[in-house]
Amino acid sequence: MDYPTLWFVLLGVLLTGYAVLDGFDLGVALWHPFAKDDGERRLLVNSIGPLWDGNGVWLVTFGGALFAAFPEAYATAFSGFYLAFMAALGGLIFRAVSIEFRGKVDRAWWRVLWDTVFFTASFVATVVYGAAVGAAMAGVPLDDRGIMASSTLEQIGLFSLLTAALTLSAFALHGALFLGLKTTGDLQRRTRTWAWGAYFAYVVLFLITTGVAVATIDRATKNFDVHPWGLIIVVLNFLAVANVSRCLYKGYGGQAFISSGCSIAALVFLFGFALFPDLVASSTDPANSLTIYNSASSTATLKLMALFALIGMPFVLAYTSVVYWTFRGKVRIDKHSY
């Protein structure tokens, strides 16, 4: 495996880690307006309170690695999708602020304000992530210098809207399953109803999005002709989706949550598999696409980055494991709660 391919794979690992981990805490925020009272809303916030910032580190690391390994693709994506990325960044900032601020003043209007910000910011961030995946799959107009020439409205097509809706349903399902593991009593029973609703929406959108991708986007299936082993992931993805409903029916909450995470990981893998070797695909002329080879840093830079990744990754995994182990179990309200 050459170094550009290695870093394409590592970027995929970082994106998968972010989608699976931040997916459930964004999903919890999507269910926040459905809580009955302030006590339940506090439980929902506290279920992700110790975890959400650590989950976001995966996205920060992904952005930094993309900048260092593939600077031309980074520049094109972040300048071409400038407004979308600013919206996502604003969503992440206001989401963090709302979590920290809502419990600082014991006034009803104050908490309603920050609860509204919490949901809206999380919704916007989730929609932008999903739409960005759809735009990347469909391709964007690039000139022969790799510069994107399209407005924000032109980047919002049918497929981008479908992937945004699919991402919303996937994160809502993942979040409801997580809440089922962290809550008790009536709230826990209602999270099961939420999970069933999100599951049916996810299955319908999953089938529609897959059908539209296969029918209208050539690159969605071309790599399966060269590497048919990729179909194994497709089969595993369908099995993971089916296992969510089986576990929900039998009350196996932990297994349902793991299967939901596996399905999200499979979707990220299939996205990367279909895109490879492109990073920013051109919808006008394939020769203008930015690939892992024509947008990569020097081999010496990629080698040095691989060394730092080899040293740093065990610390990231160890930190994540310790945090999740420390804050395991059901969530309860106490004097340290948000």
Structure-token pair, residue 272: 């990367």
Answer yes or no: is 334 within a domain: no
Most confident stretch, 14-23, 169-178, 295-304: 169-178
Residue 240 belongs to a domain: yes
Residue 84, pLDDT above cutoff 90: no
| Number of domains the chain is built from | 1
**Does residue 276 form part of some domain?**
yes
Provide the pLDDT confidence category of residue 283 given band limits of 50, 70 and 90. confident
In a domain, 229, yes or no: yes
Token readout for 146 is: 């790799």
Whole-prediction pTM: 0.91
pLDDT category at 200 given cuts 50, 70, 90 is very high
**Burial readout 128-167 (b: 16 or more C-beta within 10 A, e: otherwise):** bbbbbbbbbbbbbbbeeebebeeeeeebebebbebbbbbb
If one counts every other C-beta atom within 10 angstroms of the C-beta of residue 245, the result is 16
Residue 162: per-residue pLDDT:
92
Give the residue-averaged pLDDT of 256-280: 90
Q: Render pLDDT for 131-140 as a digit per residue (tens, 0 to 9).
A: 888 888 888 7
Residue 332 lies in a domain: no
Residue 57 clears pLDDT 80, i.e. is over it = yes
Could you tell me the CA-to-CA distances from 202 to 173, 174, 235 in Å, in that order?
Answer: 8, 10, 17
| pLDDT higher than threshold 90 for residue 28 | yes
- What is the C-alpha separation between 193 and 124, in angstroms, rounded? 24
Establish if 170 belongs to a structural domain: yes
Residue 148: its pLDDT value, please? 75
The boundaries of the domain holding residue 43 are 3-327
| Average predicted confidence (pLDDT) for the chain | 87
**Spatial distance between the Cα atoms of 293 and 102, rounded to a whole number of angstroms:** 47
**Residue 295: is its pLDDT beyond 90?**
no
Mean pLDDT across 63-75:
87
Average pLDDT over residues 248-261: 92
What pLDDT is stored for residue 284 in this prediction? Answer: 77
The answer to whether position 335 is within a domain reads no
Q: What pLDDT sits at residue 164?
A: 93
The answer to whether residue 322 sits within a structural domain is yes
249, with CB counted inside 10 A (0-12, 13-18, 19+), is exposed
Q: What is the reported pLDDT for 158?
A: 84
Q: Name the band, by pLDDT with cuts 50, 70 and 90, for residue 243.
A: very high
Amino acid 221: pLDDT: 81
What mean pLDDT do residues 262-273 have? 91
Percent of the chain with pLDDT over 90: 33
